[in-house]
A and B are shown apart, each in its own frame.
Chain A
């Protein structure tokens, strides 16, 4: 079948799943899986073959001809949509079943399929007007999925914030597509690299899609939406939906001319998001908020790659730009995979204990060994450590940045700080995820809920295992992905098509394979050595505590204390302290919360000011007729005075 036929099949299956979703669970799941699988199959021939799939019709929709295009760039994203769309649908079967959520389970299935369908449409639609329509539909599907559990006020608030932020971005997109259509004379989209006067539109692209992508400081909706949504929804929102924003930026920076400073701005935004995103993640106590902030970091990494590519394209197509861009495309996949894996892991913890606060968990590896192990795999991958996939994409981006610095030219001023900040972000990510993994899964359970936890079933475990396997597979065989990645790079900027994979990539793959095998063997071997030597179990020694209790363990707050202190200037944490007083102190308390600085210190106060101003103005409209007549007379008098004293020339 051609990609077109497969896409049609995918759309039909997803439409069927939308229709069946509210009532019939198994057929809906089967149709969703068929649809996502067909979407994946449609993307593969485009990625592994030389030709794009394009479909121009004379069929009018809203007065515009339907025009669809699946090229290298959109196919990369379509693969991600399909994989996570399928995995999440399977996961939701056990995570959000009708037996527990009778009101929302069916609705959830339908909106899920609708979200996957709309994201797929965003990727293939090639007309400005239609793009706006499917973009809005995609945003709305996200809203209804986030607010599945709409009885909770927190969830409603998070959904509202998401909707507001999303529409602020859409406003920018309306302006962008409107201006684009006005200047190009058509709503039809396509490469216009040489068009004049288009370059400033890039700033609208950056804002409009940036609100969805969620780089710092446009990330305001991310933490609360991802934390309060059901976990499979968080997984697709964090792993895939925010990538739609990245897709927009990548797409239109490839098709349109960009301002000369765009590369510097993008790389700067990326480096800032990487550091601040992960610094905020480190201080969170809510597991899912931590993961959400980590997404801000990863969007930053993507932007560093894209910024490098923009700089290189503007300065004579240097090779390092390709490397950075290839790293970015690979990281799109990698982040989608491991972030969904981690959110699924967080979901099973939530499913088993009902808690997201890390300081209420602990010791879960005993009751949930599979979840613990798979979460650990995700943690290694997200920290960018070998031998998993996160390292490969960061390696590409680093190589690009190192090469850029080695040129000793002006743009090294951007690449040098970016490389160092990326390294620091990597180290902070390691800190965040040792914390997240260890506080949740290791040590002793801190509450009864953590004691009574249970392992999740196969429907939840299966998708997690598949994603973890994908993380490992990309880590040990990155060269096999070179063809699709270079295809996407070539679609973004045609002179950059690369044929053969760079040899270090194959070497790196084999090294990672050997490393993974040797490390596994060494672990098993040492374990057996310990068994042979004889091992006895006893209390944690900890320098001689006779009876350690769970509350004596290190907490997530104390773990983050040192590095968190360095970012005090931006965190502005809220602290509540009651010291123990008197010879027989009864209660002491120390609470610390890190609010989102941009949302709660900047946007909320300024929005409050606008609200107060509006309330003041509203005082003029009170429904008393006498006063209205007075306004009328005053207005007439003012006009009269103007006419009487005014002079005409």
Chain B
């Protein structure tokens, strides 16, 4: 019958098209993957355990998927041309059904055991936190209470040493996540949760808020910087210092501007009259790599853009546009840039 031949062709073309699509997707994945905070390119102790776990789990489950697809392919191919009177009228087979209930049960048991084992391996013993991470709409306050400074939106950590963080929230629920270090931990107001892992390789890693927290959830990021222990110690010492005095002429003018236009109602700069707590501490702003919860990289051009029109870069964020003459904006930029 011509009709059925035509139809057969149609059926067999489908998988080919789908396979082609997959090839495109895979190619795109390979092309695009190299800059991403890919959890499979983990450099943290917890993340590494999870990658190992994932290999096992996806291996086992791929076997299940291939089995199902294989059977489906077989029944389609064999069942297509069959005449109705040749269709078997079997209503079931208890033995087979027990088998295909038992096999998934075994698989699930294996997966469960793997889950428990790896969960326990990730779980590090509790210890006093080195600092507190506080989620805010829409930035991160990293409060090194014992050391006496705050480092908003940027964490330094010594490589190979365990890191202990208490995470909290000052407003709504956020979630702390550095994909290449390990899993997420929610920051829930009224609760203190704990993050523990060992960063294993120096580098800069992207951190992201991963619980929807309002209008600017999309631009709530931070940087997790893993450095050699000596460099970490130097960083801590630098952060403990109060803000540097402005030196360049523009910066000196900027220091006056920032004190006079009301930045201090939200921001603090230690060693100056700015004492606000609603926004990020700017004491060592110039040393940081990002602006606006790592919305932009910290370059003079970006900083000027941010100061000129915050609401265009990060609409509805809590930082208002401050209408100032261009000269003063440039002076502010110069001053903030000097706060290393």
User: A and B: real partners?
Assistant: no
CB within 8 Å of A: which residues of B? none
CB within 8 Å of B: which residues of A? none
